Copies of this chain bind each other. A is one copy, B any other.
Amino acid sequence: MLEIKVPSHEKVLEHGLAYSLFALWPAFLAFFTSFTTILVIWVHHHLIFTQVRKTATPLFYWNGLLLLVVTFVPFPTGLLAEYLLNPEAKVAASLYTGNFLAISVVFHGLWRYVSKSEELASSTISSTPWVAARITRDYRLATLLYLVAFGLSFISEIAGISSCLLLAIFFALRGWPTKEAG
């Protein structure tokens, strides 16, 4: 899926292999940011579904939508890797941050649907409302911060991408309250 292209022979002939690899840093940055984000998404998806007691048709649509926006990630990742040093880098960066904003919106919706449904939510969520409330606050915050990252990418592509990277690391390190709630 996420793929970094080997530098072309023309580039290596002109600038040397070491420099050509160094010049690939936008590709490494995009790869690393997308990798971390997808890992975090995958873990959160798992965490949400440990709180789901049974499946329902709307859950299928939420999951289908999530799969769609996640399957799309390699395209803006490749675009950013190719065009981060281009004068029009802001276009690539805003598609990239916009993709992550879309993911966080879908995640938020998926979680709201699960936590509000009497039928679907696990006993942990039903019996300890502060747990659901904290997760809801986290996802609302995530959506807001990805909106900021999206906005930033129109001003500075590096600011937008760095925000996405920091957000992924932040949500990787941030715990999930159901363990504490036991």
What 0/1 readout, one digit per residue, does chain A (60-74) give for beta carbons within 8 Å of chain B?
110010011001101
Checking B12, B35, B68, B74 against A71 with a beta-carbon cut-off of 8 angstroms, the contacting residue is B35
Q: How far is the CA of A32 from the CA of B95 in the complex (A)?
A: 17
Q: How far is the CA of A105 from the CA of B69 in the complex (A)?
A: 29
| Pair B2/A71 contact, Cβ less than 8 Å | yes
Does A177 have its Cβ within 8 Å of any Cβ on chain B?
no
Contact stretch, chosen from A16-24, A115-123, A127-135, A159-167: A16-24
Given A43-B60, A57-B175, A60-B43 in contact, is the A75-B4 Cβ separation under 8 Å?
Answer: yes
| Pair B6/A79 contact, Cβ less than 8 Å | yes
Looking at chain A's contact residues, is the secondary structure mostly helix, strand, loop, or mixed?
helix
Given A17-B83, A39-B64 in contact, is the A6-B78 Cβ separation under 8 Å?
Answer: yes
| Pair B39/A91 contact, Cβ less than 8 Å | no
Q: How many copies of this chain?
A: 4
- Shortest beta-carbon distance from A175 to chain B in Å: 7
| Pair A172/B88 contact, Cβ less than 8 Å | no
Q: Which residues of B contact A35 (CB under 8 A)?
A: 68, 71
Given A6-B78, A12-B86 in contact, is the A172-B64 Cβ separation under 8 Å?
Answer: yes
| Pair A21/B95 contact, Cβ less than 8 Å | yes
Given A17-B91, A91-B18 in contact, is the A6-B64 Cβ separation under 8 Å?
Answer: no
What 0/1 readout, one digit per residue, does chain A (31-50) give for beta carbons within 8 Å of chain B?
11001100100010000000
- Shortest beta-carbon distance from A3 to chain B in Å: 7
Q: How far is the CA of A7 from the CA of B79 in the complex (A)?
A: 8
Shortest 8 CB-CB distances between A and B: which pairs? Answer: A17-B88, A17-B91, A4-B75, A6-B78, A18-B91, A6-B82, A6-B79, A39-B64
